[in-house]
Amino acid sequence: MFSSFMINSWIVASIVAVVAGVTGLFVVIRGSTFAAHSLPLGTFPGAAAAALIGIDELWGLIAFSALGVIGISQLSRHQRNDVATALTLVTLLGLGTLFLSLTSEYSQAVYSLLFGEVLGVSSSEIAPVAGLGVAVIGLTLLLFRPLLLTAVSADLGEVRGVRSAGIELIFLAMLGLATAMALPVVGALLVFSLMVGPASAARFLTDRPVRAMGLSAGIALATVWAALALSYATNWPVGFFVGSLAALSYGLGRCWASLRKKM
């Protein structure tokens, strides 16, 4: 489990977990779970586009996440946020269908991007993932108060000079980067579970935002570590264990909150 070919998996999975836990808190607080679900699904065809033109798949994922962020933010000006997200997702999936039809060589990699394939991580992928992770966490900490303020009350944020539209755009950009990072590890169908499950559990465990962020990152890290160990032992997909353990963490957090109210 800790052999040389697994070291890269542990490193990258740990980075992804911490980033997902940190950003996931704001996904839950801001009620952006639909965006957290849609962006990965709309982003993964970017890897097919990258394969088609012969560049690293990570850049394709980042490019499509940027398209998703721009689409959601622009359409939200004229449509409800959920409608804007759905329209953006449909457009990106349509492009993805086209790119996949043009390159038969990429069809084998679709499964890993949908369900995750952390065991195939190479040493060359660590630095870009680490760089993106540092950027996302640094931006989150820098904008912690504005993100929290606009999540609680957009009107209050405007009164204090915080432009909610600008903060929303920055938040979506952070979410898009986190998505591009996590996609090769846990897959498009389960990225949002790593963001939403641990963060939701953390909110049940504490009302303090800073502590909740730390708990969310810790629970996400424990989830990924356990998923890696179980996947190695059973040869089952990492994504299955990530989704199951994330749901379990939410259930345990909710049970603890209920017990605490009765005490």
Neighbouring CB atoms inside 10 A of 121's CB total: 21
Domain harbouring 171, CATH code: 1.10.3470.10
Residues of the chain scoring pLDDT < 50: none
Please work out, in degrees rounded to the nearest 5, the angle formed at the alpha carbon of residue 219 by the alpha carbons of 216 and 221.
105
160 falls within a domain: yes
pLDDT of residue 74: 77
60 falls within a domain: yes
pLDDT of residue 216: 94
Q: What's the pTM? A: 0.81
229 falls within a domain: no
75 falls within a domain: yes
Number of domains in the chain: 1
51 falls within a domain: yes
Q: Quick one: angle between helices 164-186 and 238-262, nearest 10?
A: 130
The range of the structural domain enclosing residue 61 comes to 4-189
- pLDDT tens digits for 170-192? 888 888 888 887 777 667 767 77
17 falls within a domain: yes
